[in-house]
């Protein structure tokens, strides 16, 4: 299941990155991220490993996540491991002469048979899109 969302944020890239960089704070704006527990001493950058307790409706999973991309001020990418597998990526692009930021969120996820496999992905896609649009609205509202 491939998903793409974006939002324009009323802040420069440096401010948005400073807010995104502490991975443990993603629970502040992601309604589905309940808790983040690190498994590495490092909490930033490529090689950081953490568990994210994720709750969507009545379903709760614990996904192991590994940072596989960390381009300071530009992008971060993670690999999902657990029941749901795949990759996710946030990227930041300056707009309006750098006074605002375009935030792009891409996910490529695979559901296991326990979640219905490909059929479960088709059912979940509109739910995730609605949920993650709300997440992006909360993120953007932080800067308004």
Of the chain, the end-to-end C-alpha distance in Å amounts to 32
- Rounded to whole angstroms, the Cα distance separating 22 from 16 reads 11
> Radius of gyration over alpha carbons of the chain, in Å?
15
Q: Work out how many domains the chain is built from and give that number.
A: 1
Q: pLDDT tens, position by position, for the chain (144 residues)?
A: 999 999 999 999 999 999 999 999 999 999 999 999 999 999 999 999 999 999 988 888 899 999 999 999 999 999 999 888 999 999 999 999 999 999 999 999 998 888 889 998 999 899 999 999 999 999 999 999
Please name the residue that has the structure tokens 């300071």.
72
Range of the domain at 85: 2-141
Q: What is the CATH number of the domain that holds 13?
A: 3.30.530.20
In this predicted model, what pLDDT tens digit does every residue of 23-46 receive, in sequence order? 999 999 999 999 999 999 999 999
Strand 75-81, strand 49-56: pairing? unpaired
């Amino acid at each position: 299941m491939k998903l793409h969302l974006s939002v324009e944020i009323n802040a420069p890239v440096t401010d948005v990155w400073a807010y995104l960089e502490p991975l443990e704070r993603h629970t502040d704006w992601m309604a589905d991220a309940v808790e983040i527990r690190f498994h590495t001493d490092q909490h930033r950058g490529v090689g950081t490993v953490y568990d994210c307790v994720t709750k969507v409706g009545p379903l709760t999973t614990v996904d192991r996540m590994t940072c596989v991309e960390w381009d300071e001020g530009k992008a971060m990418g993670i690999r999902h491991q657990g029941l749901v597998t795949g990759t996710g990526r946030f990227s930041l692009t300056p707009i309006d002469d750098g006074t605002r930021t375009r935030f792009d969120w891409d996910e490529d996820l695979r559901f296991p048979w326990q979640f219905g496999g490909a059929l479960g992905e088709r059912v979940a896609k509109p739910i995730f899109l609605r949920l993650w649009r709300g997440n992006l609205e909360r993120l953007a509202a932080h800067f308004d």
